[in-house]
Structure 1
Amino acid sequence: MLDHLVKHVQRHASRNPNCIPLLSKIDENIRKMKGYFVYSKCREPFGSIVHNDLWTNNMLIKYGNGKPTDVAFVDFQVLRYGSPARDVLFFLYSSVHLDVLQTELDDLIKFYHSELVNMIKLLRCDVSLFSYEAFLEEMKIAAEETEFCHQMFMLTPLYTIQGKAIDLSEWEPTNIAPENEEILDSRYYDRLHFVILDFAKRKWI
């Protein structure tokens, strides 16, 4: 499956000339998927309950008067004790509109960190270990360890055109990277190129 996925991603990454120098890094980092569910020792102080598949399809949003008033998370099949940076990274790069990511990603990361610190303060815990710099390091480690391969693995199902998905009873590992490109929404390619180039710019791959 990983061989198939690497070839698929490299082929589509090559559509953007800026991604071509990164093809070997794409290969190296996708293959980290083998260790995605390895329960390594969690780094403190950021250890917390991690959803591990946090994107919009696993969120229920309640509206009142046309505005969101509450949110609930569902589908905790791969819940684990780990780094919250995993959930933050996967949600941002899989679910936020691309034009927002291109202009406001750093602000969103800062906003999350600020809210995290505020919550820790409410719990009357010491926040001195939760600096922004420490959180950025946590993001880097999570990106390198799991979240690049997670993104590459999930972009195909996320961008399969509605009604074109293969029934789970017929699904095989090679379907993670379909040969029939007509089932992919055209936005797949822009998202793929952005994720690769942004991870590289931040030295996460």
Structure 2
Amino acid sequence: MLLLQCIINYFQVHYYSFFKVHQRFPEHITSNTNMVETIKNLPELLKNTLVDSKIKSVEIKRLTAPGENYGSLMLKLDVTLKSNSGHEEKLQLVAKKIPVDELFKTSFNIQVTFKNEVAMYETVVPILQNFQRENGVQEVINCFPKYYGSRINLNNSDVVDENAILILENLVASGYKNIDRTVGFNLDSIKLILKDLAELHAVPIALKLKKPNSFEPLKKHCHDFEFSAELHQMFWETTREIIKENEHCAKLLDKINLITEVDRPKVKEPFATLVHYDLWCNNSMQKFSHDVAVQNKFLDFQFLAYGSPASDLFFLLWTSVQLEVLENYFEDLLVHYHNHFIKTLKTLGCDTKPFCYEHFLYEIKEQCVFEVGHTLHFIFFVVNGKKDRTEDIKFPDDIDKIKNEVTLRAKQQVWLMLQDCEKRGWLYESKN
């Protein structure tokens, strides 16, 4: 019964978002705009912004925005401020609240995940930025939406309730957008994103090495969520059938099979750092100039964890980058990430010998024990999941329906991933 509940929770977190929620909220469509929403004690939430201003008017709408976490209630929040001198300013914000549905509250473990995401913006980001400034860095890490305020309740308890809220910059209003998940990032976009990701991973490592007493408290905000390998079994037979469609990959099944039978590797030093653990194209947004990505923001830190940077990197590349880019530039992208990772550590005065490229590749190899199985299922059944679904999907009855919807691009992406991992020695022989 426990395993069944774990499986249900896992698919509610990821797969359910695409298989069912799109029935109500198609991608990029604003919905429920006529429903009345209120936010209690809004001036208190925005107190750091209301230094010499007062709130003149507030407009709140429900929305489904690019980059949204479907396990939350997202509100478009437009606030007009009026200063003491009479000057008016409009703040375009997004308010993130806990899901209304009790099932989602349980599935997303809001008592942990909501607190962790609030802590990321309220505590972790300022500490990382201040650490960089202390070390003479002028352009500190800035791959996050601007934070305006948050709370977990109105009664000063430790319980997340219906008054919990996180208020951030409205990235859409600031000119950011998601790319199409079924297309993926082009070369220029992913290089921009990897530069930010390398910094996001390296700055906490530098803080850990140089100021361990400042870093250690941050770990309490990390979400210790581990996917049991058993969760993959629901889709494993379908996955095997798809893999066997490729003659070369069919020969690798024994190695891939082991991957579905292991848990996520234990955290190891020195690479252990703060990681996103759900980093794919829908959890980042970019601003474009003449069709070229010029700025990037990462979103949805509810699974913030203390783990391997290789986990984020592998998952992001294989779930979210165009097939042609992976075919021709995968090694270049690894080098690009690592170069910026090392550059960041050097800027912060760290010894980079333990983080050499050889050790970095071995770190990726160790994570592949879990990440290959995790990633291939995500590619098949989430990234390339059917858009704008109008009917419910029931597991496991509709597995064949889902299999028939797996696109050729998704298959080719997984086949390429498996062959590349085999070539690099990142797949492991089965011990069965």
TM-score, L = length of structure 2:
0.42
Query: Shift of the alpha carbon at 1:52?
Result: 0.8
Determine helix, strand or coil for the equivalent of 1:31: coil
Give 1:13-32 correspondences, 5 Å limit. Answer: 13-32=243-262
Task: Say which SS state the counterpart of residue 260 (structure 2) adopts.
Answer: helix
Are 1:129 and 2:354 an aligned pair?
Answer: yes
Structure with the greater relative contact order (CA < 8 A, sep ≥ 6): 1 or 2? 1
Report deviation, 1:165: 7.9
Deviations 1:99-131 (A, max 9, x none): 111111111101110000000111111112111
Q: Please state if 1:187 is matched with 2:403.
A: no
Give the % identical residues: 30
* Corresponding position: 1:157 with 2:382: yes
Question: By how many angstroms is 1:171 displaced?
Answer: 5.6
- Compute the displacement of 1:89 (Å): 0.5
Distance, in Å, in 2 between the alignment partners of 1:44 and 1:165 is: 47
| Inter-partner Cα distance in structure 2 for 1:69 and 1:197 | 32
Conserved? CA contact 1:62–1:68, under 8 Å: yes
In 1, the alpha carbon distance for the partners of 2:343 and 2:257 equals 39
Q: Is the partner of 1:77 in helix, strand or coil?
A: coil
Kept in 2, the 8 Å contact 1:159–1:188? The answer is: yes
* Kept after mapping to 1: 8 A contact 2:384/2:407: yes
Structure-2 residue corresponding to 1:178: 399
The residue identity in structure 2 corresponding to 1:7 is E
What pairs with 1:40-189 in structure 2 (closer than 5 Å)?
A: 40=266, 42-64=267-289, 66-144=291-369, 146-155=370-379, 156-164=381-389, 172=395, 174=396, 178-180=399-401, 181-189=403-411
Gaps of 5+ in 1: none
2:261 partner amino acid: R
Query: C-alpha separation between the residues in 2 aligned to 1:166 and 1:6?
Result: 23
* Residue matched to 1:204: 426
Q: 1:108 to 1:81 in 2, by over 3 A?
A: same
- 8 Å CA contact 1:52–1:87 kept in 2: the answer is yes
Contact 1:161-1:185 at 8 Å conserved across structures: no
Task: Tell me whether 22-31 or 12-21 shows the greater mean CA deviation.
Answer: 22-31
Q: For the structure 1 residues 8 and 165, does the alpha-carbon distance in structure 2 shift closer, same or farther, using more than 3 Å as the test?
A: farther
- Specify the SS of the correspondent of 1:152: helix
Letter in 1 for 2:348: L
User: Which residue identity is paired with 1:203?
Assistant: G
Q: Is the contact made by 1:164 and 1:183 (CA closer than 8 Å) also made in structure 2?
A: no
Task: List alignment gaps of at least 5 residues for structure 2.
Answer: 1-230, 428-432
CA contact (8 A) 2:274 2:304 kept: yes
Q: Higher Cα Rg: structure 1 or 2?
A: 2
Q: CA deviation at 1:20?
A: 1.6
Work out the CA distance in 1 between the residues paired with 2:391 and 2:278: 20
SS at match of 2:355: coil
Cα distance between partner residues in 1 of 2:256 and 2:292: 40
**1:65 and 1:3, CA in 2 relative to 1: closer, same or farther beyond 3 A?**
closer
Point out the structure with the larger strand share.
2
Amino acid corresponding to residue 143 of structure 1 in structure 2: C
CA RMSD of aligned residues (A): 2.1
- Helix, strand or coil at the partner of 1:63: strand
Residues 140-187 of structure 1: per-residue CA shift (max 9 Å, x gap) = 11112x2112112211111112123865xx664x38x83113422221
Q: Write the distance in 2 (CA, Å) between the matches of 1:162 and 1:28.
A: 32
**Alpha-carbon distance in structure 2 between the residues aligned to 1:98 and 1:76:** 27
Higher helix share: 1
Q: Shift of the alpha carbon at 1:29?
A: 0.8
TM-score (norm 1): 0.86
Q: C-alpha distance in 2, partners of 1:31/1:165?
A: 34
TM-superposed CA distance for 1:15, in Å, is 0.6
Q: How far apart, in 1, do the equivalents of 2:327 and 2:291 lie?
A: 27
In the alignment, the residues of structure 2 paired with residue 135 and residue 166 of structure 1 have an alpha-carbon distance, to the nearest angstrom, of 44
Structure-2 change in CA distance of 1:183 and 1:112 (3 Å): same
Partner of 2:143: none
2:233–2:260 CA contact under 8 A, matched in 1: no
